[in-house]
């Protein structure tokens, strides 16, 4: 699974977001690489190194509210049967 990376100061404690990420079956990354699928930033317009690299790689950057909505939508999707 490709990682989600967190950057910047968030309203919610970062460890809480990371745990929600893992609970949804996602992987927490420490660094932005070409395999990163999403960066969650306290400020999506951030000029942090992680945010700059994400922009260079054309990786979406969202704020924590948008990420929370994404996680909620993932939980509501029915599981596919492999029968």
- pLDDT given for residue 78 in this prediction: 55
| H helix and E strand count, the chain | 3, 4
pTM: 0.85
> What is the predicted pLDDT for the residue at 44?
92
Within a domain: residue 31?
A: yes
11, part of any domain = yes
The enclosing domain of 16 has a CATH number of 3.40.50.10190
Q: Please give the structure tokens belonging to residue 62.
A: 């969202």
Q: Is residue 63 part of a domain?
A: yes
Coil, strand, or helix at residue 63?
coil
Give a yes or no: residue 23 inside a domain: yes
Is 17 inside a domain boundary? yes
Report if residue 83 sits inside a domain. no
What is the C-alpha to C-alpha distance for residues 46 and 25, in angstroms, rounded to an integer? 27
Q: 6-19 in b/e burial notation, b at 16+ Cβ within 10 A?
A: bbbebeeebeebee
Per-residue pLDDT of the chain (83 residues; tens, 9 = 90+): 679 999 999 999 999 999 999 998 899 999 999 999 999 999 999 999 999 999 999 999 999 999 999 998 887 665 444 44
Whether residue 32 lies inside any domain: the answer is yes
- Residue 3 CA, chain-centre distance (Å), reads 8
Question: What is the domain range of residue 60?
Answer: 3-76
């Amino acid at each position: 699974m490709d990682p989600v990376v967190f950057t910047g100061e968030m309203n919610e404690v970062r460890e809480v977001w990371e745990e929600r990420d893992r609970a949804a079956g996602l992987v927490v990354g420490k660094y932005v690489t070409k395999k990163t699928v999403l960066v969650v930033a306290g400020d999506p317009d951030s000029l942090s190194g992680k945010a700059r690299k994400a922009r260079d790689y054309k990786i979406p950057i969202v704020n924590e509210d948008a990420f929370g909505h994404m996680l909620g939508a993932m939980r509501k999707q029915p599981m596919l049967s492999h029968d």
